[in-house]
Amino acid sequence: MRLWRKLTIGTAAGFILAGAVIFALDTADRVFPPPLERTGAVSAEVLDADGQLLRAFATLEGRWRLKTTVADVDPQFMRMLIAYEDRRFYEHHGIDPLAIGRAGLQLVTNGRIVSGASTLSMQVARLIEPRTGRSLSAKILQVIRAVQIERRLSKKEILDLYLTHAPYGGNLEGVRAASLAYFGKEPKRLTVAQAALLVALPQLPERRRPDRNLAAAEAARKRVLKRAAVAEAIGEGEAERAEATLVPATRMQLPVLAAHLAEAALRSKPNEREHRTTLKKQIQAGLEATAKSAAMNLRPKLSLAMVMADARTGEIVGEVGSADYFDASRSGWIDMTRVSRSPGSTLKPFIYGLAFEQGLVSQETIIEDRPADFFGYRPRNFDMSYQGDVTVREALQLSLNVPAVRLLDAVNPARLLVRFRRAGVRPILPPNEAPGLAIGLGGVGITLKDLVQLYTALANKGEPVRIGDGVTAKPGKIDGEPLLEPVAVWNVSDILSSVIPPAGAPQRGIAYKTGTSYGYRDAWSVGYDGRYVLGVWVGRPDNGAVPGSTGYGTAAPILFEAFAKSSIATTPLPRPPSGAVRIAQADLPVSQRRFSINASGLLSTSSREQAPQIVYPPEGAHVDLGARSGDLSPLMLKLQGGRAPFRWLANGKPLPDLSRRRINQWMPDGGGYSKLTVIDAMGRAASVGVFID
């Protein structure tokens, strides 16, 4: 026994002497420095806008090693870790003489190793410079390195290294990776039972892996709880309650959200550790859950894509590039949000918006849905039937093709494309073709991302925003003229918000439009409330036909389910702007009661031979412009017919400038009755009386 005691004392003295020698040498010449640069690369992480983990990438050697700091971990875990592994961590300088003495005494008393004397600093030394075997020389090297590490790093930095590199079995390293794998959550908030398991595993990570040896994991956790209770690192009775909690027997997959966007982020800056996106994790998870359930009901080879954007900021808050990134049968690796396809009828709202803006029609204007020939182009409705006379409101809600083409012919396809360019979107025309009437029925190519960008203007009172790419491209407002005027936007949204939802879908207070491309190749649905725009595409990545797949029957149910699962509260659509009213057909000006084209191909409501007519405001209308509050807004003036230029008069006083447009504005001096008059180039005049409220 005396021999054992002498050996123990000699060993401890040897450790202390070695530490003193290396301390002196390290102080003098910094010889034999610790290989801190060998700490190893950490996993690249893709984060959402709030810093939550969307996806992590394994290191080159295939390890999940997530950067972790003390601030990333539950304080309860830190207390239990120090109580179990190194009670005097904040007092010693790399080695703990009392622990060495205790370990030696236990060795002498029991004839075997009962407890170790490794400090957390020594364990970090072993992690950055792994030993090949258990030997006295290896232990002495740990002591030396621990002293060196303590001299170079703060206590917090040492803990950060441990938390990042501690082994947890298999290819898991660090507390964050282990917490995500076994508990499915970040270690910021842990239960006592969870914290105890994470403290226990690094000692013998392979033997104690709960997914391989559940009994060993439970026993190790019990020892940690017992010591933590003795050290008063946990409250009274908490150890017993934690012991009753089941140890997880399976290992979960680390987050793999936003697969396509995460890959793009990594490609853009491959050497960065963190990649911040504009996505919102809760919304992204909801969209992916929707895509997963929808894919189960889709035919083979079909994929789907979704983009949700904030119409106010332009930030992409959710994006799904395919039904399943790892499903080769659906070409899941192709990001279909960036592929140009035919948009079907989804561009029709912008045609109607232009017609409203130019004063050609109102919601209750009658328009014909009958066979028509536009210089050889003969559009037909989707179901091959015709409705006859319908209102403009009904024509848009039913997505009738002939009325849409009639209006596009009147507003001019080239003008429509000019408006799209205002929103930063340039649809792809067929090679060597000028803009034609087929645009209204999907005769251009556009990506889902660009389609959503167009619709942000409808959710944002006509002001488009650039939605960026979620990673590098900066979103934001597009300077310049609006895509459509607010009154026109309100008319479109008022109509689309009353479209009946798909069977079984709840009414969420959103406006939406569907589209089906020629040959059933693409099914679309785009919806928006007062804040968010969501676009859905369903089809085959190889552009093959999918008979029976339609925007309303296939894409719209996914749209409503995605809105529900995104867990965002519905924001009401914008309030009607000044001058926005829904006028009954009987109260419309004669020129707006019916939209038709005469034998010469000219609009009968806007022929140059017709005298000017004031379309808005109507005779005797009460228009709320904020006169009562003292914050007056301008009044929109619209006319049909007549010959430019036009001179407007308000209460007998001419407005400053002549105008060649049939749309103008007048700022009243105050509330009350006013008389508005317009005179065209031929001296013909029209007048209306209105009340400004």
Kindly list the catalytic residues: 85, 345
CB atoms within 10 A of CB 7: 13
Instruction: Give the C-alpha separation, 225 to 197, whole Å.
Output: 9
Q: What is the DSSP letter of 436?
A: -
Instruction: Give the C-alpha separation, 660 to 645, whole Å.
Output: 5
Provide the token pair at 9.
Answer: 């004392």
Provide the token pair at 96.
Answer: 């703990």
Q: Which residues contact 36 (CB under 8 A, 6 or more apart)?
A: 128, 149, 152, 153
Strands (E), 240-292: 274-276
Residue type, 491: N
Q: How many residues does the chain have?
A: 693
Instruction: Give the C-alpha separation, 624 to 613, whole Å.
Output: 22
DSSP SS3 for 465: strand
Q: What is the DSSP letter of 113?
A: -
Provide the token pair at 226.
Answer: 């017992």
Instruction: Give the C-alpha separation, 416 to 250, whole Å.
Output: 57
**DSSP string for 555-568:** IHHHHHHHHHHTT-
Nearest to 625 by CA among 687, 671, 574, 583: 671
Determine contact, residues 191/242, Cβ cutoff 8 Å.
yes
Burial environment of residue 267 by CB neighbours within 10 A (0 to 12, 13 to 18, 19 or more): exposed
Strands (E), 450-500: 465-466, 476-477
Q: Which residues contact 197 (CB under 8 A, 6 or more apart)?
A: 182, 210, 217, 220, 221, 224, 247
Instruction: Give the C-alpha separation, 411 to 595, whole Å.
Output: 13
Instruction: Give the C-alpha separation, 238 to 226, whole Å.
Output: 10
Residue type, 666: W
Instruction: Give the C-alpha separation, 511 to 137, whole Å.
Output: 74
**DSSP string for 2-44:** HHHHHHHHHHHHHHHHHHHHHHHHHHHH--S---GGGG-PPPE
Question: Based on C-alpha coordinates, what's the Rg of the chain?
Answer: 36
Residue type, 612: P
User: Residue 522: what are its φ and ψ, rounded to 5°?
Assistant: -135, 135
